[in-house]
Homo-oligomer: A and B are copies of this chain.
Amino acid sequence: MTNIEQLVDEIVKRIQPEITTNTVLVEGSGRHVHLDRATIDALFGEGYQLTKAKDLSQPGQYACKERITIASGKNSFQNVVILGPERQASQVEISATDATTLGLRVPVRESGDIAGTPGIVLINGERSVILKTGLIVAKRHIHMTEEDARRFKVTKGEIVQVKIDGYRPLIFDDVVIRVSDKFATTMHIDYDEANACGLKPGSRGEVLKKSGL
């Protein structure tokens, strides 16, 4: 190549966002709860074991047969799915639309980062638990295996953009990468986000990794 051709190559490489052809499956997560042992005991009885109804995309994670009601002073949602297995701390994940319905201000947080978040009441028939904290709107994220992280050239905690070609196309910014070989590579967004991009079952997102911009 001539010097000028090399220069052009170098400039193109630096300026144009590196668009990979790599895509990930995108799933919309509806409102759901994760329960700790004490909360399961209080809602279902001492030592109660939740019943697996359906495996989820993440290995070892499942939807349970049992459903509960979550309630604020303003409103409530019935028939909310419990995801197993049990967790170290109970956590309730809703959309910002749900937060408005409940009349609560709920922060956008990564799963597990529940310090300082509001609480909510959990109800199962005549039993109820006042959760002091743990109500979040989940921050959008991509679960990625170690192998896919290498293939996508991303690292744990890295922020990427993801382009969704639904019937309402958009590019999500500020998507956090989470890496573990316990994961299956899948992007999770909530129902507000799924509705905003016109997500359909099986939709895929193109991971846009910016280079040098």
Chain A residues with a Cβ under 8 A of chain B: 4, 7-8, 11-12, 15-16, 95-97, 100, 108, 139-140, 161, 163, 167-174, 191-193, 195-198
Known: A96-B195, A192-B196, A193-B196. A167 touches B108 (CB 8 A): yes
CA distance A161 to B191 in the complex (A): 22
Q: For the complex formed by this chain, how many copies does it contain in all? A: 2
CA distance A67 to B140 in the complex (A): 36
Contacts of A16 in B (CB 8 A): 15-16
A95–B193 Cα distance when bound, in Å, is 12
Contact between chains at B97 and A195 (CB < 8 Å): yes
Cross-interface CB contact of A8 among B7, B170, B171, cutoff 8 Å:
B7
How far, in angstroms, from A163 to B168 measured CA to CA in the complex?
A: 15
- Nearest Cβ distance between residue A7 and chain B, in whole angstroms? 7
- A16 and B213 CA atoms in complex are apart in Å by 10
Decide if B171 touches A170 in the complex (CB within 8 Å).
yes
A113–chain B nearest beta-carbon distance, Å: 15
* A-B pairs, 6 with minimum CB distance: A96-B195, A196-B196, A192-B195, A171-B171, A169-B173, A193-B196
Q: In the complex, A149→B20 CA distance in Å? A: 34
